[in-house]
A and B are shown apart, each in its own frame.
Chain A
Amino acid sequence: MDNLIATGLIGISLGSQYALLALGFTLIFGILGVVNFAHGGFYVMGGYVAYYCSVVLGLPFPVAVLAATLATAALGWLFETLILERVIEDHQATLMVTMGFYLVMATAILLLFGPESPEFSFPITGVWRAGGAYVPYANMVVIGVCLAAIVIVYWLIYRSGIGRAMRAMAEDRAVASALGMRTRALFPFAFALATGLAGLTGALVTPILALAPHVGDPVLAFSFLTVILGGLGSVAGATVAAFIVGMVEAYAAVYLGGSKGALALFVLVLLILVVRPQGLLGREVRRA
């Protein structure tokens, strides 16, 4: 029973990480219509910026996390304005440039920091125990920050003027710009917001899991899983799906072992894509 609860808590912790990653991914698809292959790259970059700030420069960990978020957001903004914006109407071209950018990012990180994973651990240690269940404080901090970030993103999208403009553009870019929404400012903003979320997740999670130049590949795969499950472009769907994926992964890892959990998820996602491309909760947000 205790084991069951402990596993559930791991699932929630995984789920909140996936939710942050998937939120960014689904925002980019929903608003810009772009599948961001570089998402994992921003996650890794977030981890390395946080590592550099906190370990090499000796800054406090929260400052390092903030720096990672801002740096990834800034790079995302630049990438959108300078490269992505020029091919934004052609889905195949956007796919190619984000894929290319991911390769460039991964190589740059490899050149700067080398292939070995650096010594980078969460500054808060210790375990919270309730009954027989143990939860590391680090995971609780991650859950807390992720939930807070999710709330902020929701507020931004559903309650603020910027969010309304972004949703209008997701629905119909031409009409929205005719009504005075500023595509040129909002697209980079949405992209930066999303990559900033990926950087934030990377900064928080890599000290717990692992930091190495190649850890972005599985992140990309799981972001795919989550957003397809929830419905490409659907914000609520991505959040719910992230927790489903986190739970399945946690329980499958404990009770089934190996990669059976991942296999089950991928098969489920393949079927969903075929039968219900709009995902579990989604309506068709954007015609691809």
Chain B
Amino acid sequence: MSNQASITRLPQARRPALLGGYEWATLCLVGFAFAVPVLTRNPQILSQTNLILIAATAALGVYIMLRMDLMSFAVPAFMAIGGYTVAVLSLKLGVTDAILLGVAAFVMPALCAVPLGWLILRLKGVYFVLVTFVLTEIVQLLLFEAAPLTGGSNGLVGMPAVTLFGIELMDNSQVLLTTAGLAFAGFTITALFTRHFRYEFTAIEKNDVLAESLGLACWRYKALAFSVAAGVSGLAGFALVNMLLTAHPTSFAPMSSVSYITYTIVGGKGAILGTLAGAALLVTATDLFALKGELSPGLFGLLIIVVTLVARGGVIGLAAKAAGRMRRASPAAPARVAPIAAVQARGVKS
């Protein structure tokens, strides 16, 4: 099959596979978290899995925006909106149903992101980085200032346990189940979303001016992605608040966005599996350094520099490269269609 054939054929083939290999692998791994409480009662493992899932879900917000070459520092801001929405709903209105709360934690930040996205998505590169950083600072200050709603510097404490079909999810392993559910929802949404629009996102990532001039309405995809990223971050915020049983401004500190970016970059921004791998590796590493807890930021910093200088694809990129080398060594390697041709074809069509 020549490249020419694939260009003329692809636009008709509008129905690509629902998910790719990386996506399936990632979802299976996240789904495995449901089994952890059954397999072990070790509180250390349970809390560790919980932390990894929350970190990975939060990092998805960075991953989605990086698909369009936009580095977002806004994850903690939307996590805060999601987390506080849940806290306010359960404390002031008595809503405890996990599914209702989950929907609220997704929808509320996603809705907030629509007008914000309209404002800031015209910026690119460094300016986008700065504006999302400023946005997170503003949300942080608002949490302190809007005391009647958010409890100010005391935060919101004493939340009731969430319920699922009337059953209270109270102890360690049940909290992990809630987190696993939220993480699974976040990963499924992200996987379907980035997979469905993968050509559009790649076109915007490579050259958005060109994509625009070829007829791709870039702002629409950017706004949609910003909104979905906000919603997924909101799910992570819910999981975090549910684990701590409090909503406090310090849980959503602006500098924590650096951690989420680190997970995504070190894991590898090229595939969704990267965010999970990055979060799992680095949260575990933080735990290993727990005796000297202050060391972990330095480790993160060092890893960021090393990955940026020598291994742009992150852990997943390195693994894929190694796998590719092994496959090339074996004689029966199947030829692959150049993805760029497919991107161009889809870009013209949209």
- Do A and B pair up? The answer is yes
Q: Could you tell me which A residues sit within 8 Å of B by CB distance?
A: 29, 35, 83, 86-87, 91-93, 95-97, 99-108, 110-111, 115, 217, 221, 224-225, 228, 232, 258-260, 262-263, 266-267, 269-270, 273-274, 277, 288
A86 contacts B126, CB within 8 Å? no
Q: Choose among B125, B141, B304, B309 the residue that contacts A288 (Cβ–Cβ < 8 A).
A: B125
B137 contacts A103, CB within 8 Å? no
B298 contacts A108, CB within 8 Å? yes
Q: Choose among B119, B254, B295, B305 the residue that contacts A83 (Cβ–Cβ < 8 A).
A: B305
Q: Choose among B134, B135, B294, B304 the residue that contacts A97 (Cβ–Cβ < 8 A).
A: B304
**Please, which residues of chain B bring their CB within 8 A of the CB of A103?**
258, 297-298, 300-302, 304
The residue on A at minimum CB distance from B124 is A288
Q: Choose among B69, B141, B302 the residue that contacts A104 (Cβ–Cβ < 8 A).
A: B302
| Separation of A140 and B294 alpha carbons in the complex (Å) | 37
| Separation of A110 and B131 alpha carbons in the complex (Å) | 30
Interface range on chain B (Cβ under 8 Å from partner): 35 or more
**Please, which residues of chain B bring their CB within 8 A of the CB of A101?**
301, 305
The residue on A at minimum CB distance from B300 is A103
> Quick check: is B281 within 8 A (CB to CB) of the other chain?
no
For residues 118 through 140 of chain B, which have their beta carbon under 8 Å from a beta carbon of chain A?
Answer: 119-120, 122-127, 129-131, 133-135, 137-138
Give B261 Cβ to nearest chain A Cβ, in Å.
Answer: 8
| Separation of A208 and B297 alpha carbons in the complex (Å) | 27
**Please, which residues of chain B bring their CB within 8 A of the CB of A92?**
69, 71, 125
**Please, which residues of chain B bring their CB within 8 A of the CB of A258?**
144-145
> Quick check: is B236 within 8 A (CB to CB) of the other chain?
no
A273 contacts B134, CB within 8 Å? yes
19 A–B contacts, CB within 8 A, in A order: A96-B265, A96-B305, A97-B305, A100-B300, A100-B305, A101-B305, A103-B301, A107-B299, A107-B301, A111-B298, A115-B294, A221-B137, A221-B254, A224-B133, A225-B134, A232-B127, A270-B119, A273-B130, A274-B122
**Please, which residues of chain A bring their CB within 8 A of the CB of B300?**
100, 103
A228 contacts B294, CB within 8 Å? no
B126 contacts A266, CB within 8 Å? no
Give B26 Cβ to nearest chain A Cβ, in Å.
Answer: 23
User: A96-B308, A106-B297 given as contacts; is B126 within 8 A of A274 (CB)?
Assistant: no
A228 contacts B123, CB within 8 Å? no
The residue on A at minimum CB distance from B302 is A104
User: A100-B301, A217-B255, A224-B134 given as contacts; is B127 within 8 A of A273 (CB)?
Assistant: yes
User: A91-B126, A97-B304, A100-B302 given as contacts; is B295 within 8 A of A107 (CB)?
Assistant: yes
> Nearest 9 pairs between A and B by C-beta?
A107-B298, A103-B301, A100-B304, A288-B126, A104-B301, A100-B305, A100-B301, A288-B125, A263-B141
Give A215 Cβ to nearest chain B Cβ, in Å.
Answer: 13
A95 contacts B71, CB within 8 Å? yes
User: A95-B129, A103-B258, A274-B123 given as contacts; is B138 within 8 A of A266 (CB)?
Assistant: yes
| Separation of A92 and B68 alpha carbons in the complex (Å) | 12
The residue on B at minimum CB distance from A96 is B308
Q: Choose among B122, B137, B309 the residue that contacts A266 (Cβ–Cβ < 8 A).
A: B137
Q: Could you tell me which B residues sit within 8 Å of A by CB distance?
A: 69, 71, 119-120, 122-127, 129-131, 133-135, 137-138, 141-142, 144-145, 254-255, 258, 261, 265, 294-295, 297-305, 307-309
**Please, which residues of chain B bring their CB within 8 A of the CB of A277?**
123, 127
A35 contacts B141, CB within 8 Å? no
B130 contacts A97, CB within 8 Å? no
The residue on B at minimum CB distance from A106 is B297
Interface centre among B69, B119, B299, B308 (most CB of A within 10 A): B308
**Please, which residues of chain B bring their CB within 8 A of the CB of A228?**
130, 134
| Separation of A106 and B223 alpha carbons in the complex (Å) | 36
Give B303 Cβ to nearest chain A Cβ, in Å.
Answer: 7
The residue on B at minimum CB distance from A103 is B301
**Please, which residues of chain B bring their CB within 8 A of the CB of A87?**
308-309
Q: Choose among A105, A260, A270, A288 the residue that contacts B134 (Cβ–Cβ < 8 A).
A: A270
**Please, which residues of chain A bring their CB within 8 A of the CB of B258?**
99, 103
B141 contacts A86, CB within 8 Å? no
**Please, which residues of chain B bring their CB within 8 A of the CB of A91?**
125-126
**Please, which residues of chain A bring their CB within 8 A of the CB of B122?**
274
Give B9 Cβ to nearest chain A Cβ, in Å.
Answer: 34
**Please, which residues of chain A bring their CB within 8 A of the CB of B145?**
258-260, 263
Interface centre among B133, B134, B135, B300 (most CB of A within 10 A): B134
- 5 further A-B contacts with Cβ under 8 Å, apart from A96-B265, A266-B134, are A104-B302, A107-B299, A259-B141, A269-B134, A288-B124
| Separation of A273 and B254 alpha carbons in the complex (Å) | 18
| Separation of A29 and B127 alpha carbons in the complex (Å) | 12
**Please, which residues of chain A bring their CB within 8 A of the CB of B123?**
273-274, 277
A274 contacts B141, CB within 8 Å? no
A35 contacts B265, CB within 8 Å? no
| Separation of A93 and B305 alpha carbons in the complex (Å) | 9
A97 contacts B131, CB within 8 Å? no
| Separation of A274 and B121 alpha carbons in the complex (Å) | 9
**Please, which residues of chain B bring their CB within 8 A of the CB of A95?**
71, 126, 129
**Please, which residues of chain B bring their CB within 8 A of the CB of A100?**
300-305, 308
The residue on B at minimum CB distance from A41 is B301
**Please, which residues of chain B bring their CB within 8 A of the CB of A93?**
308
Interface centre among A92, A101, A225 (most CB of B within 10 A): A92
